[in-house]
A = this chain, B = another copy of it.
């Protein structure tokens, strides 16, 4: 494991469009789209990186194919569980994932999330666009501290991609 590959040199950009109720997250990874896509769709890999370091992820279902469903928990040190679920509208290998997303404590808050995997020549740019139905909901998500989980999750994914090289 080389230092240059594990110092998380790639910046995570989290952008709120002033004109649309979206959050657009952009991040590059030092691995091919095929490998990054696998880390997004194989539950044995997803469980190793998705979310902040302080929470343990517990996957109940993760059927990452068109028409499949997923549900997982993030569990705090004191046992508090945060549950998330949704369905996969589209899963196009190494290219695109479209899924719904809900935090179960707010079941009527549903976002539509589109992840695209762009080949930069052995490296990959992942762009994730989350669409919700109001600016209030969007700004609430941004204010929730989600950015910590996103950045730490991507650092864990960096580490996973080195480990599975």
What is A's interface to B at a CB cutoff of 8 Å? 19-22, 66-67, 69, 86-90, 96, 98, 100, 102, 107-108, 110, 112, 114, 129, 131-135
Contacts and interface: CB of A to CB of B under 8 A. Distances in A.
Contacts of A90: 102, 107, 110
B133 A22 contact: yes
B102 A110 contact: no
Contacts of A22: 133
15 contacts: A20-B134, A20-B135, A22-B133, A66-B69, A66-B87, A87-B87, A87-B88, A87-B89, A87-B100, A90-B107, A90-B110, A96-B108, A98-B100, A112-B131, A131-B131
A86 B90 CA distance: 9
A105 to B, nearest CB: 15
Copies in the complex: 2
Nearest to A100: B89
B87 A67 contact: yes
A20 B133 contact: yes
Given A100-B100, A114-B133, A131-B131, 16 more contacts: A19-B135, A20-B21, A20-B135, A21-B21, A67-B69, A86-B89, A87-B88, A87-B89, A89-B100, A89-B102, A90-B110, A96-B108, A110-B112, A110-B114, A131-B132, A131-B133
Contacts of A20: 21, 133-135
A110 B98 contact: yes
A112 to B, nearest CB: 4
A89 B114 CA distance: 15
A98 B69 CA distance: 14
